[in-house]
């Protein structure tokens, strides 16, 4: 297991005010207070050089929409610590609907990094030259288009931070999450023992830990086959 050390997120965004309430709350805020994670937000507009603070322009060749300018993004990226070649343990990620789908497994991988630069796209997209020069991977949180990359960046930060050693008090709860081993989590119950005519399954009250473990595994297999047949057909 990785020793406790800080993971730094640098975010390039046009709307840094969206991040504060989330980054200061819940487990993410507690992880920052413990020194396990840190955040620096870079307002892309601060790196413009004209009096109108222009961050976008029309695409060459015509077409709809506007593109974020490569020179402005590049300056923001350098300020955030972007380098080429990327130092070990560092990566620049563009939040984009064209990216590879973000998964729990990817979150685990990225939790092993020391510095992640998250670039929040906007408008019709980003000048391709910035992608070629600076971006290590493009990531999407789903097959739909959002107004910008801020919400996907927050989703990634939440998932990755939660996977860092020392963030969740009981690390077994992380190991038994939904989607571990490509399986959904088993049904869970708490008091009262009966609610509106629905009782807790007797096996969970039996005290037989072997029987409980078998029941939970069977429930995972059944629930995954029923709710998410797209997941791995033969789980480990």
The torsion of the CA quartet 149, 151, 152, 155, rounded to 10 degrees, works out to 160
Q: Report the alpha-carbon distance of residue 115 to residue 39 in Å, rounded.
A: 10
Active site residue 150: no
Contact 139, 93 (CB under 8 A): yes
Q: Which of 6, 177, 180, 182 is catalytic?
A: 177
Q: Report the alpha-carbon distance of residue 14 to residue 44 in Å, rounded.
A: 6
Q: Which of 6, 124, 136, 182 is catalytic?
A: 124
Contact 81, 115 (CB under 8 A): yes
Active site residue 124: yes
- DSSP letter string, 70-114: HHHHHHHHHHTT--SSPPTTEEEEEEEEEEEEP-HHHHHHHTT-S
Q: Which of 70, 127, 152, 162 is catalytic?
A: 162
Q: Which of 59, 97, 165, 187 is catalytic?
A: 97
Helix (H) or strand (E) holding 234: none
Q: Token pair of 152, please?
A: 């996907």
**What is the separation of C-alpha 194 from the centre of its chain, rounded to a whole number of angstroms?**
37
Active site residue 176: no
Active site residue 162: yes
Q: What number of residues does the chain have?
A: 236
Positions annotated as catalytic residues are 97, 124, 162, 177
């Amino acid at each position: 297991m990785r020793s406790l050390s800080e993971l730094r997120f640098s975010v390039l965004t046009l709307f840094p005010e969206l991040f504060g309430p989330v980054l200061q709350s819940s487990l993410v805020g507690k992880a920052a207070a413990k020194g396990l994670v840190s955040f620096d937000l870079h307002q892309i507009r601060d790196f413009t050089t004209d009096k109108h603070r222009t961050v976008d322009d029309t695409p060459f060749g015509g077409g709809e929409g506007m593109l974020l300018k490569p020179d402005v993004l590049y300056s923001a990226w350098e300020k955030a610590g972007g380098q080429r070649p990327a130092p070990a343990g560092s990566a620049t990620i563009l939040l984009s609907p064209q990216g590879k789908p973000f998964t729990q497994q990817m979150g685990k991988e990225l939790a092993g990094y020391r510095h992640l630069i998250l670039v929040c796209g906007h408008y019709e997209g980003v000048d391709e030259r910035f992608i070629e020069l600076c971006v290590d991977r493009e990531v999407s949180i789903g097959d739909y288009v959002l107004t910008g990359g801020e919400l996907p960046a927050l989703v990634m930060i939440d998932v990755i931070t939660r996977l860092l050693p020392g963030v969740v008090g009981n690390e077994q709860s992380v190991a038994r999450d939904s989607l571990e081993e490509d399986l959904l989590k088993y049904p869970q119950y708490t008091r009262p023992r009966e609610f509106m005519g629905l009782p807790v399954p007797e096996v969970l009250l039996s005290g037989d830990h072997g029987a409980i473990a078998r029941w939970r595994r069977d429930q995972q297999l059944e629930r995954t086959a029923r709710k998410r047949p797209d997941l791995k057909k033969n789980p480990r």
